Each structure stands twice: as C-alpha cells, then as structure tokens.
Amino acid sequence: MKPIPNRIYYHSSKIYLPSGTTLDLRDRGLYKMSERSRQVEEIFEQIRTLEFPTRLSRLTSLFVAPLPEYTIGLGQTIFKVSIEGETFQASQQTYNDAYYNEKLDEIEKFARKYWNEENSENRPEILVKGKVRIIGELSLEELRAMDVRRFSY
C-alpha cells in the first residue's frame, strides 16, 4: 500500500508531540510494551518472518490509522499526521482478538489472518516504515464529533 498524498492519518501518543515533529523508526522505543504485548508481538513476528517475510515488521514500524476513532484506547492524545515511506494495512481488530486469546495455536491463526490482510478494513491500522509528521492535535470539537461507541474494544 502506498500512502495517499495529502491524506490525513491519525496517531495517538501518551507523549505530547508538537506540530512539525517528525517521528521515525528511532522513536519506536518511546512506546513501552507490557509483558502480554511482548508475548503476542513475538508470535506475530515469528509468523511474519517464516511465512510473510516481505511484510513490514510490527516491531520496527510506526502505527497510524485512517480514522481518529481507530486510535481510541491506544494513547491519550490523538494527532493528525502525514506519512511518508512504505506502508502495510492490517486489521487492528485481528491483533486485539489475538491479544485477548490465551491459546497459542489461536494466536498463531490470528497472526496469519493479520499478515494475510484478512479483514484489513475492520478497524484498520497502518504500519509505516518511514516518517510520520505531526500536523496537529485533534481539536476538542473534532473529538466530540466522534462516535466512539462504534469503535470501542
């Protein structure tokens, strides 16, 4: 997938990011993983490496979403961003389903669905290997206009 020029995407962060800030892969370390996230990411990475080696790694990508509602629960502040570089779109819902599943073989099945781009329009997330530039923070009016009930986990 190629980024659409002049398209606004969305990124959330617990860290305030001023307009004009450009995130790149070095900034991936700003985001701490829980032990559960680490376990699931290891399984996803193992499946990607063995079966989908041309896909971008979640571990070395930044994440954006096509709609601000899809960033709810991922951070405290939602930012409008532009992106530059290689991208891959998958289903955040598939990842969430894997995260809340206790069975190893089920997590592997979800990982295969994720990397196969199955249901990639269901709560899509976009992995970016490149740069994410902060355009600005979502305004209070924009936040109020979102129907977050449709997008809650």
Beta-carbon count within 10 A of 153 CB: 10
Four-residue CA torsion sign, 72, 129, 8, 90: negative
pLDDT band of 3, cuts 50, 70, 90: low
Lowest pLDDT segment from 25-29, 62-66, 137-141: 25-29
Whole-model pTM: value is 0.85
What is the DSSP secondary-structure string of 66-133?
A: SSGGGGTTT-SEEEEEEEEEEEEEEEHHHHHHHHT---HHHHHHHHHHHHTTTTTTSSEEEEEEEEEE
pLDDT 10s digits, 39-84: 999 999 999 999 999 999 999 899 999 988 888 665 578 899 999 9
Measuring CA to CA, which residue among 128, 112, 106 is closest to residue 25? Answer: 128
In this structure, the chain runs to a length of 153
pLDDT band at 147 (very low <50, low <70, confident <90, very high): low
Domains and CATH numbers, the chain: 9-33+52-93+113-146 (3.20.170.10)
| CA atoms within 13 Å, Cβ hemisphere of 117 | 10
**Of 27 and 122, more confident:** 122
| Alpha-carbon gap, residue 56 to 48, rounded angstroms | 8
**CA gap 89, 66 in Å, rounded:** 10
